[in-house]
């Protein structure tokens, strides 16, 4: 909690800031005044027990839901209450818990269509078709690079619906990369993924973070991978921030241990 | 010979106009996933509006009533009709395209169709009620002295040219970045939205464009037949367009042509020659609609992608012949070495 | 003022008819999660079947209605088995389900027209004299319609709250995946829902025909969007919302005749639908994740 600082000098480094965010459904508070901040260029984990309000937070930050009160700032600019596409266009891209590829488009198309500013305007179709073609060349080159990085190159002309579950996860991440996000909000990217692929996805996230400087917010159940790749972890419970720190610090925090895992904790937090 | 030629031209005009309807629905449903359950209403609005713009004022005391009657030249009247159809699409879009489930749009289109059908039928002073408009002046009729057959052939050519233009334009949209984003919206609207694209705007573009396409078909229909009444645009006709698109191939404009030909021309014309049963004058049209309904259901069940499925789009590719380099090496050289496939 | 009460009386009768129809549609939507565009055909089928039993086979009217309603329920069941079940098995997206029900409406309507023709008809029953109740004048038939609707709504309420089937239906409506995991036989619940939905459509069709006196094969389809308006107004998939929506739409459309020509009363329903979609698309009673 103490990490939320009002000192302007540290604000500069904050990519995403959530302050006293509230949302309730039919009188029941799902998110009840949560506050946290994510520093630029970091991989930050967001964990919490089931029903802690994580999904609602993701939906609030990405604009799928409108907050009742509170602030969400991206690079210091308020984004709370904006439409999802406005938030996406400002550089905060989210992924979904269940892989949601564009099934009837090829892997290549899935990537290209995810880039910003493709010139997807009717006026270009009518009068300036060259605008799209020129941009397409750049996008194809980027997409090919990305596909090679993620090992999806051989599948580039396959319909996305034919991919395996693990390949779809890789596709989701590579698609998000194409959008050049400032902040990438990953909603349980490891859900239903086998251990080998979890490892691989983790490596990709670290790699992207190092190479492109993308800020990651990782909402995740798998604490092992969170510990491995996240420099800071935010624990939420009952719709509010419970604690912030590294995984090692959190494990020593009795409140976290109890709230997060209930009784016999130690074996599940793993040590 | 003249009779056969006259028949052929009529069939061709019919074929091209249904094709244009199907292209319009393809932009809406095949590209973007918009469920328009009242395609034929857009045809009617386009046709009616063009007609009342082109017609002179209704003669007083004739028992015929309609709005406007501006006696405008056909190109302007036609444009007015197409814009009116687009405007209707825009209004429906404003009501139902804003982040609602696809069911709602389907409901609103259907409701609008039912509403306008009743309003236009009962509201005798709009487009002359159930009686409908007739004696609509034909475009370019005063251009020269036409023989009836000569005019039919001329009109068929005009229709064909308009169709080819609209077909090429629909293809161009499909291949453009806009068409790509439309297809992404069709596949998963929420994801496109999360990637920073205004899906409302994209769906609205498709809605209005498709409506205008259908409006063009409507203008051509009324200009050729020179009459239109509510009996000419019953709900059943919307299914003909849907059946044509679903049989031919959603998302594939070539499929749309084949579907229009099979459903709107072959099937419609073939059933026309079935013997009439005097005791049941409606039996043949009813059986026709039973078959159209079946075609819609069965094609969705057995072959939702249609006879001609959407084509797979491949992009610029590394030349396959050159195996000496890895893909990484190719990419390091930039796209100069990457050809178009 | 008398005109107001007269139309309010009509409104209550129309609301009664609509309540049967909108609850039938909404219950099925809640459980299966797709809109049935062929619902108008079920409605027409109900009134036409009943007409056959009463006018052709000379059954007493109540018995004819019971037979007609049962037959409509069977029709809904058969359609579910033959058409929707195979599609559900193939996990077709909601898109295609809507197109299928849309195509089905044309199919069923055309089949009905082959058997019943296109002309108007009416039930062979006598209109009764008006009875004065407070400020209202009701005919015996109108009172019967209100009674049928009220009893049906109570039965539906008891079904949903007291029986295990009703509880399962609500569970499926709230969360289909959870319902399946918790061991509910979703297939048989779906079947039961279709039967109930079909029966309500059939009964609604009969009381609609009683109310308007004359009817034809397309009557169901022309009323379809008024039913949709009531269902959306109440909150799609919400049974009690559908009742409320029916009451509002029924009363408002009829009372509007005080100010606008009664020829435009369905247009008033459309207007309510549009305003609702613009202002509060989730309906008066919102259900999560269904808007």
A90 and A13 share one domain: yes
Q: pLDDT tens digit string along C27-53?
A: 999 898 889 999 999 999 999 999 999
Structure tokens at C7: 């139309």
Interface test with B, best of C22, C99, C222 (most B CBs within 10 A): C99
Model confidence at B279: pLDDT above 60? yes
Structure tokens at C93: 């997206």
Q: pLDDT tens digit string along B125-158?
A: 889 889 889 888 888 877 777 888 888 999 999 9
Question: With contact defined as beta carbons under 8 Å apart, do C40 and C220 qualify?
Answer: yes
Integer Cα distance of C204 and C240 in angstroms: 17
What domain count does chain A have?
2
Residue of C205, C176, C207 lying closest to C193 (CA atoms)? C176
**Partner chains of C (3+ C-beta pairs under 8 Å):** B
The most distant pair of C-alpha atoms in chain A lies apart, rounded to whole Å, by: 67
Asked if A137 and B335 come within 8 Å (Cβ–Cβ), the reply is yes
- In chain B, which residues have their Cβ closer than 8 Å to the Cβ of A83? 193, 198
State the Rg of chain B over Cα: 22
pLDDT at B93: 94
Residue A67 backbone dihedrals phi, psi, to 5 degrees: -70, 150
Asked if B106 and C98 come within 8 Å (Cβ–Cβ), the reply is yes
Structure tokens at B326: 């890895």
Asked if residue A224 belongs to a domain, the reply is yes
Lowest mean pLDDT segment, chosen from B240-249, B260-269, B318-327, C193-202? B318-327
Residue of C59, C23, C9, C54 lying closest to C199 (CA atoms)? C23
Residue B340 at interface with chain A, using a CB cutoff of 8 Å: no
Asked if A159 and B335 come within 8 Å (Cβ–Cβ), the reply is no
**How, if at all, do strands A77-78 and A92-94 pair?**
unpaired
Model confidence at A271: pLDDT above 60? no
pLDDT at A265: 40
A92 and A136 share one domain: no
- Give the angle subtended at the CA of C207 by the CAs of C202 and C212, to the nearest 5°: 125
A22 and A82 share one domain: yes
Integer Cα distance of B70 and A186 in angstroms: 60
Structure tokens at A266: 């130690």
pLDDT at B40: 96
Cα B262 to chain centroid, rounded: 16
Sheet (strand A92-94) strand order: A92-94, A183-187, A215-219, A43-47, A232-237, A240-245
Region B108-117: mean pLDDT is: 91
A201 and A257 share one domain: yes
Asked if residue A252 belongs to a domain, the reply is yes
Model confidence at B197: pLDDT above 80? yes
pLDDT at C7: 84
Whose structure tokens read 């999904």? A55
Cα A62 to chain centroid, rounded: 9
Cα torsion C272, C244, C253, C211 to 10°: value is 140
DSSP secondary structure string for all residues of A113-150: TTSS-----HHHHHH-HHHHHHHHHHHHHHHHHHHHHT
A212 and A265 share one domain: yes
Cβ contacts from B onto C, under 8 A: 129
Model confidence at B76: pLDDT above 90? yes
A60 and A117 share one domain: no
What residues have CB less than 8 Å from A114, skipping those under 6 apart? Answer: A175, A176, A178, A179, B195
- Give the angle subtended at the CA of C250 by the CAs of C245 and C252, to the nearest 5°: 95
* Binding-face residues of B in 264-323 toward A, CB within 8 A: 310, 312-316, 318
**How, if at all, do strands A240-245 and C121-122 pair?**
unpaired
pLDDT at B337: 39
A147 and A13 share one domain: no
What residues have CB less than 8 Å from A158, skipping those under 6 apart? Answer: A106, A107
The confidence band for C173, taking pLDDT boundaries of 50, 70 and 90, is: confident
Region C127-151: mean pLDDT is: 84
Asked if residue A171 belongs to a domain, the reply is no
Q: pLDDT tens digit string along C255-265?
A: 888 888 777 78
Asked if B312 and A93 come within 8 Å (Cβ–Cβ), the reply is no
A123 and A69 share one domain: no
- In chain C, which residues have their Cβ closer than 8 Å to the Cβ of B106? 35, 37, 98, 102
Region C263-268: mean pLDDT is: 82
pLDDT at B191: 94
Asked if A100 and B191 come within 8 Å (Cβ–Cβ), the reply is yes
Integer Cα distance of B119 and C268 in angstroms: 12
Region C170-187: mean pLDDT is: 84
Residue B231 at interface with chain C, using a CB cutoff of 8 Å: no
A110 and A152 share one domain: yes
The confidence band for B51, taking pLDDT boundaries of 50, 70 and 90, is: very high
pLDDT at A8: 47
What residues have CB less than 8 Å from A23, skipping those under 6 apart? Answer: A29, A30, A31, A56, A60, A65, A67, A68
Asked if residue A191 belongs to a domain, the reply is yes
Q: A115, A131, A162 — which closes off a domain?
A: A162
| Length of chain C measured in residues | 291
pLDDT at A262: 55
Model confidence at A259: pLDDT above 60? yes
Whose structure tokens read 């309904």? B293
Asked if A105 and B183 come within 8 Å (Cβ–Cβ), the reply is yes
* Whole-number percent of chain C with pLDDT over 90: 47
pLDDT at B325: 57
Q: Which residue has the higher pLDDT, C255 or A4?
A: C255
DSSP secondary structure string for all residues of B128-144: -GGG-B--PPPTTTTSS
pLDDT at B317: 59
Q: Which residue has the higher pLDDT, A131 or B94?
A: B94
Alpha-helix residue ranges (DSSP H) falling in B260-321: 268-272, 283-302
Q: pLDDT tens digit string along A19-52?
A: 999 998 877 888 998 999 999 999 999 998 887 8
> In which domain, by residue range, is A25 found?
8-101+182-269
Asked if A140 and B316 come within 8 Å (Cβ–Cβ), the reply is yes
pLDDT at A141: 86
What residues have CB less than 8 Å from A268, skipping those under 6 apart? Answer: A261
- ipTM score: 0.88
Mean per-residue pLDDT of chain C = 87
Residue B8 at interface with chain C, using a CB cutoff of 8 Å: no
* Binding-face residues of B in 36-95 toward A, CB within 8 A: none
Integer Cα distance of C5 and C23 in angstroms: 26
For A239, half-sphere exposure in the C-beta direction (CA atoms, 13 angstrom radius) is 16
* Binding-face residues of B in 98-157 toward A, CB within 8 A: none
Integer Cα distance of B88 and B86 in angstroms: 5
Model confidence at B220: pLDDT above 90? yes
Segment (H or E) for A229: helix A223-229
Model confidence at C117: pLDDT above 50? yes
Asked if A141 and B334 come within 8 Å (Cβ–Cβ), the reply is yes
pLDDT at B326: 61
Buried b (16+ CB within 10 A) or exposed e, A250-265: bbebeebbebbeeeeb
- In chain C, which residues have their Cβ closer than 8 Å to the Cβ of B112? 270
A264 and A187 share one domain: yes
Model confidence at A87: pLDDT above 90? yes
Whose structure tokens read 């009764």? C128
Considering only CB atoms, B196 lies closest to which of A104, A116, A153, namely A116
Asked if residue A257 belongs to a domain, the reply is yes
Mean per-residue pLDDT of chain B = 86
Residue of B112, B42, B119, B110 lying closest to B82 (CA atoms)? B42
For A165, half-sphere exposure in the C-beta direction (CA atoms, 13 angstrom radius) is 10
Region C145-167: mean pLDDT is: 93
Residue A237 backbone dihedrals phi, psi, to 5 degrees: -150, 140
Asked if residue A175 belongs to a domain, the reply is no
- In chain A, which residues have their Cβ closer than 8 Å to the Cβ of B195? 85, 88, 93, 114, 116, 179
Model confidence at B49: pLDDT above 80? yes
Region B10-39: mean pLDDT is: 94
Model confidence at A188: pLDDT above 50? yes
Instruction: Name the minimum distance, in Å, from the CA of A120 to any CA of chain B.
Output: 4
Residue B194 at interface with chain A, using a CB cutoff of 8 Å: yes
User: A148-152 long-range CB contacts below 8 Å, 24 or more apart?
Assistant: A148/B327, A148/B328, A148/B331, A149/A174, A149/A204, A149/A207, A150/A174, A150/A204, A152/A107
pLDDT at B319: 47
Quickly count helices (H) and strands (E) in chain C: 12, 4
Nearest CA in chain B to C85: B301
Cα torsion A256, A258, A264, A265 to 10°: value is 0
Residue C16 backbone dihedrals phi, psi, to 5 degrees: -65, -45
A47 and A18 share one domain: yes
Query: Mean pLDDT: which of B144-148, B158-162, B238-242 is highest?
Result: B158-162
Region C91-101: mean pLDDT is: 83
Asked if residue A174 belongs to a domain, the reply is no
Nearest CA in chain C to B287: C110
Considering only CB atoms, B239 lies closest to which of C34, C103, C228, namely C103
Region C81-101: mean pLDDT is: 84
Model confidence at B70: pLDDT above 80? yes
| Crossing angle between the packed helical segments C140-162 and C164-174, to the nearest 10 degrees | 80
Asked if C236 and B103 come within 8 Å (Cβ–Cβ), the reply is yes
pLDDT at C257: 81
Model confidence at C220: pLDDT above 90? no
Model confidence at B58: pLDDT above 90? no
A243 and A115 share one domain: no
Residue B108 at interface with chain C, using a CB cutoff of 8 Å: yes
The confidence band for C104, taking pLDDT boundaries of 50, 70 and 90, is: very high
Model confidence at A200: pLDDT above 80? yes
Integer Cα distance of B174 and C145 in angstroms: 54
Asked if residue A229 belongs to a domain, the reply is yes
DSSP reduced 3-state for B290: helix
Residue B191 at interface with chain A, using a CB cutoff of 8 Å: yes
C83: left (phi over 0), alpha (psi -120 to 50) or beta: alpha
Region B218-241: mean pLDDT is: 91
Model confidence at A9: pLDDT above 50? no
Nearest CA in chain C to B34: C95
Residue A24 backbone dihedrals phi, psi, to 5 degrees: -130, 150
Question: With contact defined as beta carbons under 8 Å apart, do C23 and C203 qualify?
Answer: no
pLDDT at B312: 80
Considering only CB atoms, C100 lies closest to which of B95, B119, B300, namely B300
Residue of A16, A11, A18 lying closest to A240 (CA atoms)? A18
């Amino acid at each position: 909690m103490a990490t939320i600082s009002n000192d302007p000098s540290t604000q500069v480094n904050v990519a995403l800031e959530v302050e006293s965010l509230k949302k309730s459904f039919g009188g029941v508070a799902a998110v009840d005044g949560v506050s946290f901040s994510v520093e630029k260029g970091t991989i930050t984990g967001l964990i919490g027990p089931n029903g802690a309000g994580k999904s609602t937070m993701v939906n609030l930050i990405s604009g799928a839901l409108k907050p009742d009160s509170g602030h969400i700032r991206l690079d210091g600019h308020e984004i709370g209450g904006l439409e999802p596409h406005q938030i996406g266009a400002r550089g905060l891209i989210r992924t979904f818990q269940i892989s949601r590829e564009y099934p009837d488009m090829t892997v290549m198309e899935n990537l290209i269509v995810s880039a910003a500013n493709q010139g997807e305007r009717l006026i270009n179709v009518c009068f300036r078709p060259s605008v799209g073609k020129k941009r397409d060349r750049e996008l194809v080159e980027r997409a090919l690079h990305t596909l090679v990085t993620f090992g999806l190159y051989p599948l580039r002309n396959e319909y996305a619906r034919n991919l395996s579950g693990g390949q779809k996860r890789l596709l989701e991440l590579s698609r998000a990369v194409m959008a050049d996000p400032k902040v990438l909000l990953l909603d349980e990217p490891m859900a239903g993924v086998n251990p080998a692929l979890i490892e691989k996805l983790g490596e990709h996230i670290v790699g992207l973070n190092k190479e492109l400087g993308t800020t990651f917010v990782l909402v995740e159940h798998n604490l092992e991978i969170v510990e491995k790749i996240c420099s800071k972890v935010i624990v939420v419970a009952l719709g509010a921030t419970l604690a912030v720190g590294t995984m090692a610090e959190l494990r020593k925090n009795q409140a976290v241990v109890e709230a997060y895992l209930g009784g016999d904790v130690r074996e599940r937090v793993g040590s | 010979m003249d009779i056969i030629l006259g028949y052929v031209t009529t069939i061709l005009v019919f074929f091209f106009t249904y094709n244009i309807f199907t292209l319009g629905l393809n932009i809406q449903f095949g590209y973007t996933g918009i469920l328009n359950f009242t395609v034929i209403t857009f045809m009617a609005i386009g046709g009616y509006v063009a007609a009342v713009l082109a017609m002179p004022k209704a003669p007083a005391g004739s028992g015929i009533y309609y709005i406007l009657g501006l006696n405008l030249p056909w190109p302007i009247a036609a444009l007015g009709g197409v814009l009116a159809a687009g405007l209707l699409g825009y209004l429906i879009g404003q009501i139902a395209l804003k982040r609602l489930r696809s069911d709602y749009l389907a409901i609103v289109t259907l409701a609008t169709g039912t509403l306008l059908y009743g309003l236009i039928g009962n509201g005798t002073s709009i487009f002359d009620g159930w009686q409908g408009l007739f004696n609509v002046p034909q475009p370019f009729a005063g251009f020269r002295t036409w023989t009836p057959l000569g005019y039919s052939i001329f009109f068929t050519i005009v229709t064909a040219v308009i169709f080819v233009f609209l077909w090429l334009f629909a293809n161009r949209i499909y291949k453009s970045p806009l068409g790509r984003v439309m297809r992404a919206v069709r596949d998963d609207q929420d994801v496109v939205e999360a990637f920073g694209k205004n899906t409302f705007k994209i769906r609205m573009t498709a809605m209005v464009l498709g409506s205008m396409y259908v409006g063009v078909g409507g203008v051509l229909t009324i200009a050729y037949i020179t009459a239109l009444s509510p009996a000419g645009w019953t709900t059943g006709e919307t299914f003909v367009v849907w059946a044509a698109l679903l049989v031919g191939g959603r998302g594939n404009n070539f499929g749309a042509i084949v579907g229009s030909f099979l459903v709107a021309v072959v099937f419609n014309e073939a059933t026309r020659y079935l013997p009439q049963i005097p005791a049941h004058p409606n039996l043949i049209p009813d059986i026709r609609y039973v078959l159209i309904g079946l075609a819609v259901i069965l094609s969705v069940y057995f072959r939702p992608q249609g006879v001609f499925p959407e084509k797979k789009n491949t992009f610029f590719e590394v030349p396959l012949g050159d195996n000496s380099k890895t893909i990484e090496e190719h990419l390091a050289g930039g796209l100069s070495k990457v050809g178009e496939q | 003022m008398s005109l107001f009460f007269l139309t309010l009386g009509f409104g209550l009768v129309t609301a009664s008819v609509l309540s049967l129809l909108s609850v039938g549609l909404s219950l099925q939507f809640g459980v299966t999660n797709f809109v049935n565009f062929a619902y108008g055909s079920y409605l027409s089928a109900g009134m036409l079947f009943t007409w056959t039993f009463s006018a052709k086979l000379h059954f007493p009217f109540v018995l004819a209605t019971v037979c007609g309603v049962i037959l409509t329920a069977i029709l809904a069941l058969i359609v579910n088995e033959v058409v929707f079940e195979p599609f559900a098995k193939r996990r077709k997206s909601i898109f295609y389900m809507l197109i299928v029900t849309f195509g089905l409406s044309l199919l069923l309507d055309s089949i009905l027209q082959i058997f019943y023709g296109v002309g108007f008809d009416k039930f062979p029953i006598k209109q009764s004299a008006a009875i004065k109740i407070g400020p209202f004048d009701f005919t015996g038939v109108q009172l019967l319609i209100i009674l049928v609707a009220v009893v049906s709504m109570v039965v539906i309420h008891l079904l949903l709250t007291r029986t295990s089937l009703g509880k399962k239906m609500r569970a499926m409506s709230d969360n289909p995946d959870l319902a399946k995991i918790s061991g509910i036989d979703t297939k048989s619940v779906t079947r039961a829902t279709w039967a109930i939905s079909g029966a309500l459509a059939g009964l609604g069709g009969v009381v609609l025909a009683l109310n308007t006196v004359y009817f034809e094969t397309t009557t169901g389809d022309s009323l379809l969007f008024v039913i949709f308006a009531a269902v959306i107004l109440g909150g799609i998939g919400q049974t009690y919302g559908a009742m409320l929506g029916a009451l509002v739409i029924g009363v408002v459309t009829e009372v509007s005749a005080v100010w606008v020509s009664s020829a435009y009363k369905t247009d008033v329903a459309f207007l309510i639908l549009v305003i609702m979609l613009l202002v509060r698309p989730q309906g008066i009673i919102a259900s999560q994740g269904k808007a």
